[in-house]
């Protein structure tokens, strides 16, 4: 079963296909694995992708960029107003909703953001289908975590209008985790993952808890003010000042020259991620003067140092908000094209010294890969539709612990069942006691976060045969959905067993009432 995953970002869109158990990003007809989410309108045609982005120099008024920003928003939404101020394409209000005014043809046309998104989705679909060679239309699309239901609906409708069958919308950080196969191999253990996404125009940092194979977002932070374009902007400013210094011409007031310079700076920025220095060359930048400038990586880092600091800052705040420290993060996932910046990776490494920094996959493709993996999962399990947008599950409220002694004889508590496990859950442990002892005692505790553990139950084995070997006891802890715990213990050599059932608080109250 083949399926498609699409990451539809503010600046770029990326499509991956799931086929034969693998998810791969597909290159578009221009040979790029990431397609700029830019639509250019001409009098006879609409162009999507790199051609539209480059054509923006000449056709800025009829080129729509960053459509995701106003997708599904009302006209009087502050975000829409911001977008209106930034874009060079006219945004008008029609019935409370924003529309683009396109003046490519004889008459001005009004294009809804959904239609623009539809064109981009259509392009992604074509790309995927040309790689698959068949008309697979099952797709999973990623959305930012902060997307409101209206925006999700608009995105879904746009995708459906483009001919997709939308299996599900998933959140970008979750898709990134899927792509790195976090928590999918085995269900034991609880871990915290930080997903750091620095895209074209937005920064989003999310802390997730992975438990029992499920992801739970603990806290998230989004900043639309910073992204790859900010870096490009900074570099372009630098180039403009260089130009002014050399040729005594100020290009900052020339919109087209600045766009050209931005394109040049963009390319230079990309090569600086892998090379120590990059050449920026712009033909006929101003008054027919060609511009050439060499930028070193150090220079670029210097230019962007304040931006880099700004993009790192939210992490600390977020961790504080989630009540975690940098050491309690187990993994850090980098995604978004700007996460390629070597300096940024270095800063992250310094920030999380003992943590695995996951950046092996190209960061701007990770999310699409995750979406494709999810699509592969969904398309296998046929005709299962998730009705609600958000899903709640029952999880255990407290850690379930057992008291043991370590070699030095001090008492320690070992986790049998961590808090936050999706219920119902079952855990199997083998505990051992000293072979010389004729009796063993299992003290079961529960512990809420930051609280003293309280004892729930005590299980006692008596009349054991003292022997050289340790007594091994199989302990199976099962927790039902309401929170009631069932602990069954079997002594391996003798086959003696003890079973206790600890009812949950609410259930106990109900039982007492009846």
Partner 1 sequence: MLLEALDGEETVVLRAGAASVQVQVEPVGRWFEAYVRRRNRNASASFQELEEEEESSEESDDEEFQLQEYPVLRTLDPKDWKNQDHYAVLGLPHLRYKATQKQIKAAHKAIVLKHHPDKRKAAGEQIVEGDNDYFTCITKAIETLSDPVKRRAFDSVDPTFDNGVPSKSEGKENFFDGFAPVFERNARWSSKKHVPKLGTMESSFEEVDNFYSFWYNFDSWREFSYLDEEEKEKAECRDERRWIEKQNRASRAQRKKEEMNRIRTLVDTAYSCDPRIKKFKEEEKAKKESEKKAKAEAKRREQEERERARQAELEAARLAKEKEDEEAKQVAQQAKKEKEIQKKAIKKERQKLRTTCKNWNYFADNEAESVKMMEEVEKLCDRLELTSLQSLNEVLASGSKEDSKAAVEQQVREVNAQLQREKDAEVQARQAARSAEQASGGGGGGGKGWNEEDLQLLIKAVNLFPAGTNARWEVIANYMNLHSTSGMKRTAKDVINKAKNLQRLDPLQKDEINRKAFEKFKKEHSSVAPSIDNAVPSERFDASGSDGNAAPWTTEEQKLLEQALKTYPVSTPERWEKIAAAVPGRSKKDCMKRYKELVEMVKAKKAAQEQVAAKSKK
Burial of 486 (0-12, 13-18, 19+ CB in 10 A): middle
| Minimum CB–partner distance for residue 410 and partner 1 (Å) | 11
Residues contacting 315, CB < 8 A, separation 6+? 194, 196, 205, 351
Task: Candidates 102-110, 206-214, 251-259, 270-278: pick the segment binding partner 1 (CB under 8 A).
Answer: 206-214
**Smallest Cα–Cα separation from 318: which of 149, 169, 173, 152?**
173
Q: Which of 130, 325, 439, 465 touches partner 1 by CB under 8 A?
A: 439
Q: Is 275 in the site for partner 1 (CB under 8 A)?
A: no
Contact pick of 55, 362, 424, 453 for partner 1 (by CB under 8 A): 424
**Residues between 154 and 193 with contacts to partner 1, criterion CB under 8 A:** 168, 170-171, 173-175, 177-178, 183-184, 187
CB atoms within 10 A of CB 326: 15
Residue among 458, 465, 467, 494 that touches partner 1 (CB under 8 A): 458
Q: How far is the CB of 255 from partner 1 (least distance, A)?
A: 42
Strand order in 356-358's β-sheet? 214-223, 203-211, 190-198, 331-335, 356-358
Q: Is 483 in the site for partner 1 (CB under 8 A)?
A: yes
197 binds partner 1 per the rule CB under 8 A: no
* 425 contacts partner 1 (rule: CB under 8 A): yes
Of the candidates 88, 321, 426, 496, which one interacts with partner 1 according to CB under 8 A? 426
The CB-of-277 to partner 1 minimum distance in angstroms stands at 41
Q: How many residues bind partner 1 (CB under 8 A)?
A: 88
The reply to whether omega before 299 is within 30° of 0 (cis) is no
Residue corresponding to tokens 């791969």: 24
CB 191 to partner 1: min, Å = 14
Burial class of 185 by CB neighbour count within 10 A (0 to 12, 13 to 18, 19+): exposed
Closer CB to partner 1, residue 225 or residue 434?
A: 434
DSSP string over 337-362: GGGG-HHHHHHHHHHSTTSEEE--S-
For residue 338, give the nearest of 221, 179, 197 by alpha carbon. Answer: 197
Q: Minimal distance in Å, beta carbon 361 to partner 1? A: 17
Backbone φ and ψ of 465, nearest 5°: -80, 115
- Residue 104 or residue 395: which is nearer to partner 1 going by CB? 395
Q: DSSP 3-state assignment of 438?
A: coil
134 lines the binding site for partner 1 (CB under 8 A) = no
How many whole angstroms separate alpha carbon 388 and alpha carbon 395? Answer: 19
> Applying CB under 8 A, does 370 fall inside the site for partner 1?
yes
- Of 122 and 197, nearer to partner 1 (C-beta) is 197
For position 422 contacting partner 1 by CB under 8 A, the verdict is: yes
Contacts 24+ apart (CB under 8 A), 98-106: 98/70, 98/73, 98/74, 100/64, 102/41, 102/62, 103/61, 103/62, 104/41, 104/42, 104/43, 104/59, 104/62, 105/43, 106/43
Q: Which residue in 132, 217, 324, 326 binds partner 1 (CB under 8 A)? A: 217
By residue count, the chain amounts to: 514
Closer CB to partner 1, 292 or 394, in the complex = 394
Residues 6+ apart with CB under 8 A from 35: 12, 13, 14, 15, 28, 48, 49, 50, 120, 123, 124, 127
Angstrom CA distances, 2 to 16, 34, 47, 129, 384, stand at 11, 20, 28, 10, 16
**Cβ 124 to partner 1, closest distance in Å?**
20
Does residue 57 touch partner 1 according to CB under 8 A?
no
Binder among 152, 156, 216, 249 for partner 1 (CB under 8 A): 216
Q: Does 501 bind partner 1 (CB under 8 A)?
A: yes
How many other CB atoms are found less than 10 A from the CB of residue 312? 18
Site string for partner 1, 377-406 (x = CB under 8 A): xx--x--x-x---xxxxxxxxx-x--xxxx
Which lies closer to partner 1 via its Cβ, residue 233 or residue 503?
Answer: 503
Tell me whether residue 216 or residue 343 sits nearer to partner 1 (CB atom): 216
CB of 510 to partner 1, least distance (A): 10
How many angstroms separate the CA atoms of 293 and 278, rounded? 8
Among 59, 191, 457, 488, contact with partner 1 (rule: CB under 8 A): 457
**158 versus 167: smaller Cβ distance to partner 1:** 167
Nearer to partner 1, 235 or 485 (CB): 485
**Residue with smaller CB distance to partner 1, 90 or 503:** 503
């Amino acid at each position: 079963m083949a399926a498609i995953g699409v990451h539809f970002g503010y600046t770029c869109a990326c499509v991956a296909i799931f086929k034969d158990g693998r998810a791969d990003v597909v290159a578009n007809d221009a040979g790029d694995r990431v397609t700029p989410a830019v639509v250019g309108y001409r009098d006879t045609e609409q162009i999507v992708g790199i051609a539209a982005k480059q054509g923006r120099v000449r056709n800025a008024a009829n080129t729509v960029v960053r459509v995701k920003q106003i997708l599904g928003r009302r006209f009087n939404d502050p975000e829409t107003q911001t977008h209106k101020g930034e874009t060079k394409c006219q945004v008008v209000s029609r019935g409370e909703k924003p529309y683009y005014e396109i003046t490519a043809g004889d008459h001005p046309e009004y294009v809804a953001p959904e239609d623009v998104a539809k064109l981009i989705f259509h392009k992604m679909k074509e790309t995927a289908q040309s790689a698959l060679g068949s008309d697979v239309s099952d797709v999973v699309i990623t959305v930012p975590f902060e997307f409101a239901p209206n925006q999700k609906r608009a995105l879904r409708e746009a995708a459906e209008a483009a001919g997709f069958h939308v299996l599900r919308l998933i959140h970008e950080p979750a898709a990134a985790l899927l792509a790195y196969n976090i928590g999918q191999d085995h269900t034991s253990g609880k871990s915290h993952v930080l997903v750091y996404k620095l895209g074209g125009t937005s920064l989003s940092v999310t802390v997730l808890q992975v438990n029992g194979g499920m992801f739970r977002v603990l806290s998230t932070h989004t900043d639309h003010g910073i992204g790859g374009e900010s870096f490009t902007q900074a570099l372009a400013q630098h180039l403009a000042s260089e130009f002014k210094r050399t040729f005594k011409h100020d290009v900052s007031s020339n919109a087209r020259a600045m766009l050209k310079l931005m394109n040049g700076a963009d390319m230079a920025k990309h090569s600086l991620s892998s090379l120590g220095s990059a050449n920026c060359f712009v033909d006929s930048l101003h008054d027919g003067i060609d511009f050439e400038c060499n930028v070193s990586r150090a220079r670029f880092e210097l230019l962007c140092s304040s931006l880099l600091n700004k993009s790192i800052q939210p992490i600390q705040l977020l961790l504080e908000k989630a009540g975690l420290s940098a050491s309690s993060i187990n993994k850090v996932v980098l995604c978004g094209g700007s996460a390629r910046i070597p300096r940024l990776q270095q800063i992250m490494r310094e920030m999380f010294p003992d943590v695995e920094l996951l950046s092996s996959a190209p960061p701007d493709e990770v999310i699409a890969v995750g979406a494709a993996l999810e699509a592969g999962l969904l398309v296998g399990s046929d005709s299962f539709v998730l009705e609600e947008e958000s899903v709640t599950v029952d999880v255990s409220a407290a850690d379930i612990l057992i008291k043991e002694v370590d070699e030095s004889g001090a008492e320690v508590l070992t986790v049998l069942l961590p808090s936050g496990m999706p219920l119902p859950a079952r855990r199997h442990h083998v505990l051992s006691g000293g072979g010389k002892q004729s009796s063993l005692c299992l003290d079961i505790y529960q512990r809420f976060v930051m609280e003293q553990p309280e004892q729930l139950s005590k299980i006692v084995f008596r009349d054991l045969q003292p022997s050289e070997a340790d007594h091994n006891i199989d302990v199976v802890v099962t927790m039902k959905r309401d929170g009631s715990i069932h602990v069954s213990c079997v002594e391996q050599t003798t086959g003696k067993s003890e079973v206790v059932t600890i009812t949950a608080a609410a259930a106990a109250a109900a039982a007492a009432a009846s």
